Structure 1
Amino acid sequence: MLEPSLETIKNAYDQGDYNQAMANLQALLQEQPEAKDRPPVQLYLGLLYAQQGQRQEAEAVLRRLLQYSHNRQVLHLARQALSTLLKDGPAPASSTQVSPAQASLTQTPPAQASTQESSSPAEPASVQSGLPESWEPAELVFLVWSPAETLERPEQQRCAVTLAQHLPSTDAYTLQLHMRRGGARVLHQGEAAHLWPLYQALRQAQVPVQLVRSSQVQKLILLPGQQLRDEGDGWGSFQPLSVTGDSKPAYRFAWASVRRLLITSARMTTLQVREVEIQQTRPWSKPQTQIEEKMVEVVQDYGQVCDLHLADPEAPILRLSDRDFAGNSPAPAWEHLMTWIQNQCPQAEVDRSGDVFLQEIIRPEWRNLPTVPWSGYYPPEQPYLRGGTALQFYSSLVYLSHQKS
């Protein structure tokens, strides 16, 4: 429930009487000057500025609101208003409104409509949708935002507006915030036959996106290691991690082939046996408490991870962690190791976007991800990366989306 003073502003705004709403808002601020910092007041101030054509003032108020407010409803409305401001004019009115996302996913472009009407019903779905021959129409694919380099602000705005017009549950302002942080982002996932036309339309609009197949992710090997050496003559050796005690052959690679260093700091956890109380409830009986031993996650502290992405599309991802690394000839400290690696391969791009990604893995869509195969495993008593499956998935997406076709 809004208080009466805010209720009068809301009612006038909802009825389209923006002058009266602004008058009510100014009256509130005269009576209660301290109310100017409250999120609902700031929200209506930004909305009214936008309705009166004061775009710069509206954008400044709404941006400040997104930076300091924690009210979910206010943040949602502010993002929507900013997204509208970033677009060139209001969307055309229609009696039967269809969102741009629904149109892009359900309608067929005119060039393809005539082709599909003339095609035989027995023709395979992959041919109708224009998929490559090796792709299955029902296979899971990921639409990934993956610019080759950081885009300028005007180009970010253009791409964000285009994406917001085609994708569900996105807005241009939130997309721009992520673009400024850098790194890849999963924009949408679904069947290949449904996402292929959308992918082609975005590529035609010069939006830097890639379509990554789930089968590609599952074939990619992530190799955890415990030692990295310089063998001279431009070559390095990577000793894979072994938790079973058997020695594994070192993986040799050229330092010049390292294209990217994905450096991430994340929380480390262990799996430990703990006694847990479990209440069992049965019909027509009292609840009974039973103590069972279960494996539970225990948070330790922060760990460091560095993934080496090589240019060879058949090469594995080489992963180093400060928990497994046995030391290096220059210095065992992690910061010194990162400096040493960057000196060995100065051409490699340093990508720290994994930190931003790990802040978002709580979302439900990250719980069932295709896992990148390991060459080894972490036993329960050893610390492992919290959200490790999601980080493996993210690292593989960055790796695959930047590979040259």
Structure 2
Amino acid sequence: MADDTVPEAQTGDVHPAVLPIVTDVRHWSSSDASTVAIDLGDQVQYEAHRLNSPERIYFDLHDTKLAPNLSGKTIEVGDTLLTRVRVAQPMAGVTRVVLETKGGSNFSVSLEPNPYRLVVQVRGQHSSEIETASASRDDLQLRAHVPKFRIVLDAGHGGWDLGTVGRRGLLEKDVVLEIARRLGRLLESRLGSDVIFTRKDDAYIPLDQRADLANQTQADLFVSIHANYSDLPSARGVETYYTNFFSAPGSREIEKRENAGMKKAVMPVSLSNLELRDKIEESRRLAASVQRALYGTLAAQSPTIRDRGVKEASFVVLRGTAMPSILAEVSFVSSPTDEQKLGSSTYRQQIAEALYKGIARYAAAPHRVKMASTSAKSTGE
């Protein structure tokens, strides 16, 4: 039956004869998580949203058909994280699954192949899912000598913007969100940083709003996390971008992909010539530090990975920010080898550790004046 407690579902043209079928919805609990698996006949596009009063998470699976025995189904859960799960088809072509959650929970979602299923894990706010090694002696010494940085972490894509989709169904938007969360916990616990996320769940945030958030919060650094794409399955490696407000040769294709979704032009922030030079130089130094750490860490485990270097590109989130800003492409979702690795929590943690190491090394070096200020905002409003 239709769910009247969440917004009206949106759908486009529907072709019932070819829609993937939602065949089952299953649930199981463990000591630290409540998991819901939505079994699918094929790969699907979906949106995830979180609402309050009462707390619930709902997923709209677009261009799908609900198996007749699931229509209006309710699964009573009653564990410490979930009250129940409800299933409905509010309109033709849209399946909605609602998780009635309890206070103080986080969730992650991934589309798994062979067979296709959407797996949702609900965990407590202080779950051990995200590994956060305690600060070492070196970390404590670094923390004592490094000023407290305010760092904006930007997990690329989100919501309807899936980013790159791997050959086995891995979604870039899910991978980079988890890496950002892991990195955030490392920066907070080890470096004492004030971390701000452009998104904390599966939501689409316009690119100009991401840049504006960094400017308005007067962040010291902006780090955008993405996973790469190539038409060649053999393409692998890591690369890190900064901007000099111009497009370097060869950057056009990736700019078009990462800037997808922008409906209006975003002008670079207003900086003096000196501030612009400082931002460019500090961004280059941050990119170099992160690139060295990324390649050095991942190549130790996978010697065939390629160091694709530090590059310049005119990404909206980089030229719209007033502080040193970089965009890291941490592996290729389009590579079957990398896709398998990115599906591993161990590999995602290695990437987060590498990003942390690159940022920490940059933070320990001497710098020019702080770049962010409330007077330097995007003029693309």
TM-score computed with the length of structure 2 as normaliser: 0.26
TM-score computed with the length of structure 1 as normaliser: 0.25
Structure with greater strand percent: 2
Q: Larger Rg: 1 or 2?
A: 1
Does 1 or 2 have the higher relative contact order (CA < 8 Å, sep 6+)? Answer: 2
Structure with greater helix percent: 1
